[in-house]
Structure 1
Amino acid sequence: MAQAPAPTFDDTFHDAFATLLRWRRDVRRFRPDPVPEALIETLLRAAHQAPSVGNSQPWRFVRVRDAGRLDAIVADFQACNARARSQQPAERQLAYGALKVEGLRDAPVQMAVFCDDATAQGHGLGQATMPETRAYSVVLAIHTLWLVARAHGLGVGWVSILSPDTVTRALDVPEGWRFVAWLCIGWPDQALEIPELETAGWQARAPRALVLER
C-alpha cells in the first residue's frame, strides 16, 4: 500500500506550536457564549487521535447537560473544596479561599472523562505490568483535546477537586469506568499567557526539572 509522504514542519510551525504550548492554560473564567457543536466534535475527533497503550483507546467522554446531575457535581465540589481549604495551613486558608478553581457554573460545555478499565480493545497489550497506562492514555487524549481547543480560541479548565465515586454515581456510567477528569470548556473571559495561580501569587513556576543520567 502506497504511503503518503511524511509532512515537514518548518520553523514557522515550530514557533506557532511553542506559542500554543505557552498559551495552553487552565481556564477558570468563561464567557457564557455557546460553543458550536461542530467545534466540540472537532475536539473529540482530535482527542481520539491520541496515542494509547496497546491501541486500547480507553477514553470515554460524557457530555453533561442535565441540570440535576450538574447540581450534584457542584455540591460535591463545594464539599470537597471546603475540606481542601481546611487542610491548608492556617496562614494559607484565606489565600486559598480567594482562588477561583473551577468553572462549573460558567463554562457552556461540561464534560467528564473516564477510563474504561474493562475495554477489550487492544487485548491488554502493554497493560499487564502497568495497568495505570490506560489512565495515562486518557490523559494524553485530554491534553490533545486541550491543545486543539486552545488553537481554536477555546479555554479548558480541569476540575480535580471532586470525589470520583460521587461523580461516577451522579453520571450513572457503565461499570468499569474510572473517573479521570472533569473539563469545563468555553470561551475564556480573559487572556492569560501566565498561569492564573502564578498571577494570583499562589505558586511560582518551578525551574525546569533536571534530567538525571545513569
Structure 2
Amino acid sequence: MLAQRPSPLVHAEPFLPSDREAVYRAIETRRDVRDQFLPDPIPEPVIARLLKAAHAAPSVGFMQPWNFLLVRSEDKRRAVWEAFNRANEEAVTMFEGERRERYRSLKLEGILKAPLSICVTCDPTRGGKVVLGRTHNPRMDVYSTVCAVQNLWLAARAEGIGIGWVSIFHDSDIRPIFGIPDHVEIVAWLCAGYVNELYAEPELSVKGWRQRLPLEELVFEESWGERKP
C-alpha cells in the first residue's frame, strides 16, 4: 500500500484574540523612524528573523525578486549619506515659501545614526522573460518587493526595532558604491536600529506636514466615487 501523502493545506482558523491584537498593534504603531535610533548593534539572530519575515512576502508568480544588502560599514553609510545630502539640497528647491522652510526643519534620514542599513533591491529577470501574473503589468515585481519591505517593517516593530525608509537620492550615486548591476532596481534604503521611543502618531503628522486622511473618504462602493449612503 502506498503511503498517504500529507496534505499541502493547513487549517485557516482565525488567530486567538491576543495574537490578532498583536498583529494589529504592530500595524498601528509602526513608524518611519529618523532620529530615535540607539547605537546598540542588532544581534544576528534578530536580523535573520527580520529577513526571514521579508522573504515570506507574497510575490507575483512566486518569483521572489528581492535581494537584501546589509550595510554596517561607516564609510559606506557615509557615502550614502553624502548622496542623500546632495539630493536633499535639490529637493529643498522644489518647495516654496513656508513649505520650503518647514522641509528644511525636518529630519529625513538616520543613515549615520542607525547601526544597520538594508538596501532592498528588485531583480526583474529572476522569473525569466514571461512571469505568471506579470504578463500585463510589468511593475508587479516591484510591488512584490515592496510587500517584502512591509513584512520586514512589521517584524521589526514586533522586535522593538525602528525602520526608516530613505528615498531621497539618485540611484546612479548609490549603485557604484556597492556594485549593484544596472538591471537591478533599488527599491528601498532602510535604516534599522533599536529605539526606546516612537511617535504616537506619524512624525510628519506631528510636525504639521500632512495629516491622515479620513478612511471613509477613500472607500468607494461598486463604482468610482460612489459611497455607502
TM-score by length of 2: 0.87
1:70 corresponds to: 77
Q: Which of 88, 92, 97 does residue 90 from structure 1 map onto?
A: 97
163-172 or 133-142: bigger deviation: 163-172
| Percent of aligned pairs sharing the same letter | 38
Equivalent position to 1:48, from 31, 43, 55? 55
Match of 1:135 in 2: 142
SS at 1:106 equivalent: coil
Deviation at 1:119, TM superposition (A): 1.1
For the Cα contact (< 8 Å) 1:54–1:122, is it kept in 2? no
2:30 equivalent in structure 1: 24
- Measured after TM superposition, the shift of residue 212 of structure 1 is 4.2
Matched, 1:37 2:41: no
Match of 1:176 in 2: 183
Structure 2 unaligned residues grouped into runs of 5+: 224-229
Task: Give the letter aligned to residue 178 of structure 1.
Answer: E
- Judged with a 3 Å threshold, the aligned counterparts in structure 2 of structure 1 residues 121 and 13 are, in CA distance, closer, same or farther, namely farther
Distance, in Å, in 1 between the alignment partners of 2:71 and 2:202 is 26
CA RMSD of superposed structures (Å): 1.7
Query: What does residue 10 of structure 1 align with?
Result: 16
The equivalent position to 1:120 in structure 2, one of 111, 127, 130, is: 127
Counterpart-to-counterpart distance in 2, 1:34 and 1:210: 42
Residues 74, 112 of structure 2: 8 Å contact kept: no
Q: Aligned to 2:185, what secondary structure does the other structure show?
A: strand
- Alpha-carbon deviation of 1:11? 2.5
Q: Aligned partners of 2:17 and 2:30: how far apart in 1?
A: 20
8 Å Cα contact 1:54-1:123 kept in structure 2: no
Kindly provide the amino acid, as one letter, of the partner of residue 220 in structure 2: V
Within the candidate set 217, 220, 224, 1:211 is matched to 220
After superposition, the Cα gap between the structure-2 partners of 1:112 and 1:89, relative to the gap in structure 1 and judged at 3 Å, is: same
Q: CA deviation at 1:199?
A: 1.0
Which residue is 1:157 aligned to? 164
User: How far does residue 57 in structure 1 lie from its aligned partner after superposition?
Assistant: 0.1
> Residues 119 and 188 of structure 2 are in contact (CA less than 8 Å); yes or no, is this contact kept in structure 1?
yes
One-letter amino acid of the structure 1 residue matched with residue 25 of structure 2 = T
Distance apart, 1:123 and its partner CA = 5.5
Q: Classify 1:74/1:103 alpha carbon distance in 2 versus 1 (closer, same or farther; 3 Å).
A: same
Post-superposition offset of 1:15: 2.2
Looking at structure 2, the residues matched to 52 and 119 of structure 1 have their Cα atoms a distance apart, in angstroms, of: 12
Evaluate the alpha carbon distance shift between residue 175 and residue 79 of structure 1 in structure 2; reply closer, same or farther with a 3 A threshold.
Answer: closer
Structure 1 runs not aligned, ≥5 long? none
Letter aligned with residue 6 of structure 2: A
Q: Secondary structure at the match of 2:18?
A: helix
**Deviations, residues 180-214 of structure 1 (Å, cap 9, x unaligned):** 11000011252222111111111111111122423
Which of 1 and 2 has greater Rg? 2
Question: Hey, what's the Cα distance between the residues in 1 that align with 2:195 and 2:220?
Answer: 35
C-alpha distance in 2 between matches for 1:73 and 1:120: 30
SS in 2 for 1:20: helix
How many residue pairs align between the two structures?
214
